[in-house]
Amino acid sequence: MGPLKGFKIIELAGIGPGPFCGMLLADMGAEVIVVERASASYTTPDVTRRNKKSIALNLKSKDGLETLLNLVEGADAIFEGYRPGVAERLGVGPEDCKKRNPKIVYGRMTGWGQDGPLSQAAGHDINYISLTGSLYATGRKNDKPVPPLNLVGDYGGGAMFLAVGILAGLLEAQNTGKGQVVDAAMTDGSALLMATFNSFHAMGIWNTQRGNNMLDGGAHFYDTYETQDGKYVSIGSIEPQFYSLLIEKANLDPAVFSDQHNMGKWDEFKEKLETIFKTKTQSEWCDIMEGSDVCFAPVLNFLEAPSHPHNVARQTYIDVEGMTQPAPAPRFSRTPSEVKHGSKQAGVDTEAVLSDWGFPDDKIQKLKKDGAFS
């Protein structure tokens, strides 16, 4: 099942966006083989390891490295998340793989990119999105920037762009018979995610003052509000017809609130709405607004989300081996994605994968005896 069924992809084990990218590809049916260190001993549940097979190779041994390069000969793509130059030093860089398989698509996941003055520096999501304006724009007025978890750099600007790049490379390779390198940098990706705000600024409807714009919590009609029971609701009543419905359902005075886009009144309107939303519980506001065109939703934590009726109806969350987790996305009408199993212990599939990929049994046993894997 899945639209990527038949594609073979090698993931050199890493953390964060690399494994997330591998999960996306595996959910869509690709055979994703995670190459772990020979000494790896992984047991903790990890959603991003679902649907993958795990092999453990000693890449510092000649036989272990040769085993990986033999696998590259039968793969469609390979990707890694090392600092620039590490894969080359290990002997599994783009040129090493291209010699074995000219059609291979080689994905590279980094924060700063393969070149540039910061390319060799350590960093994390918070640093990468600092460089692109994403972090500066996130947070409340007159307060410091707030990290939006690690969603913008690692997963939005990193994993998603790596997945798109690999898929585009696979399509192009089918037409030309030639592979290429995909340089996915979180700085590049998070910069591209800000494209709309470059447009807004050019149109004169966005400024650099955090918490002072329509979509960053500056507007009273696009924000979150605390309810009587200490929970929160979200309001996104941008369009005039939706804003009119907000006025109606929140029992606001149209004469006071009609001047929706007068930025000079936003703080005043917000204070009034804060008082109003605290008069009822989250559940009571759901009864009044949920499902209407107010553009409303309760603000749920990630443990509450799976129980919401909409998520239940769409089966947005699934249970895999006793662990609740998000279902694969997006959805395909004819070749649906599926989760066959959760995370596996490191190296558990080594012998089976080598056999499936054409290694004779006597060679597998010799490689094991010689220390290519344990």
Whether the link from the prior residue into 330 is cis, omega within 30° of 0, is: yes
pLDDT of residue 374: 79
- Answer yes or no: do 79 and 228 share one domain: no
| Dist CA 236 CA 244 (whole Å) | 12
Summarize pLDDT for 192-236 with one digit per residue, the tens.
999 999 999 999 999 999 999 999 999 999 999 999 999 999 999
Contact 24, 32 (CB under 8 A): no
Report the number of distinct structural domains present in the chain.
2
Asked whether residue 267 falls in the same domain as residue 336, the answer is no
- Asked if the model's pLDDT at residue 45 lies above 80, the reply is yes
Residue 188 within any structural domain of the chain: yes
Q: And the tokens for 260?
A: 């929706």
Final residue of a structural domain among 258, 276, 307? 307
Q: Which two tokens stand for residue 62?
A: 């000649």
Q: Are residues 118 and 182 in the same domain?
A: yes
CB 171 within 8 A of CB 88: no
Same domain, 241 and 113: no
Determine the structural domain holding residue 50 and report its residue range: 8-193+318-369
Please indicate, yes or no, whether residues 163 and 292 belong to a single structural domain of this protein: no
From the list 27, 154, 216, 223, the catalytic residue is 154
Question: For residue range 58-72, what is the model confidence (pLDDT) as tens digits?
Answer: 999 999 999 999 999
Same domain, 183 and 330: yes
Provide the CATH number for the domain around residue 72: 3.40.50.10540
Give pLDDT, residue 39: 77
Q: Do the beta carbons of residue 233 and residue 299 sit within 8 Å?
A: yes
Beta bridge partner(s), residue 54: 34
Range list of H helices, 320-360 = 350-356
Q: How far is CA 112 from CA 82, 93, 148, 197, 337, in A?
A: 11, 18, 19, 22, 32
State residue 232's pLDDT score.
98
Polymer length of the chain? 374
Q: Which of 307, 340, 359 is the last residue of a domain?
A: 307
In a domain, 345, yes or no: yes
Q: Tell me the pLDDT tens digit for each residue of 18-29.
A: 999 999 999 999
Q: Which helix (H) or strand (E) holds 31?
A: strand 31-37
Q: Is residue 1 part of a domain?
A: no
Domain shared by 279 and 348, yes or no: no
pLDDT in tens, 125-184: 999 999 999 999 999 999 999 999 999 999 999 999 999 999 999 999 999 999 999 999
pLDDT at 112 over 70: yes
- Asked if residue 207 is part of any domain, the answer here is no
The one catalytic residue in 46, 63, 96, 124 is 124
- Of 255, 281, 307, the one marking the end of a domain is 307
Strands of the sheet with 232-236, listed across from one edge? 222-226, 232-236, 296-299
Write out the two tokens for 140.
Answer: 């409340």
Cα 368 to its chain centre, rounded Å, is 36
Tokens 């200490």 locate to 230
Provide the whole-model pTM.
0.95
Q: What is the pLDDT of residues 238-258, one digit of tens each?
A: 999 999 999 999 999 999 999
Residues 179-196 pLDDT 10s? 999 999 999 999 999 999
Please, what's the largest Cα pairwise distance for the chain? Answer: 84
pLDDT of residue 42: 66
Beta-carbon contacts of residue 339 (< 8 Å; ≥ 6 apart): 27, 50, 51, 318, 320, 327, 328
> Positive or negative CA dihedral for 362, 365, 369, 371?
positive
Tell me if 214 is assigned to some domain: no
Active site annotation includes 201: no
pLDDT of the residue at 1: 84
213 assigned to some structural domain: no
pLDDT attached to residue 40: 76
Same domain? 268 vs 296: yes
- Answer yes or no: do 143 and 180 share one domain: yes
Both 186 and 276 in one domain: the answer is no
Number of helices (H) and strands (E) in the chain: give both, helices first: 15, 11
Is 212 inside a domain boundary? no
Residue 268: give its domain's CATH number.
3.30.1540.10
Same domain, 178 and 248: no
CB 9 within 8 A of CB 34: no
**188 and 244 share one domain:** no
Any idea which residue has 């490191």 for tokens? Answer: 346
**Which value, to the nearest 10 degrees, does the dihedral of the CA atoms of residues 245, 250, 256, 259 take?**
-40
Active site residue 154: yes
pLDDT value of position 43: 63
Domain assignment present for 210: no
Which percentage of the chain shows pLDDT scores above 70? 99
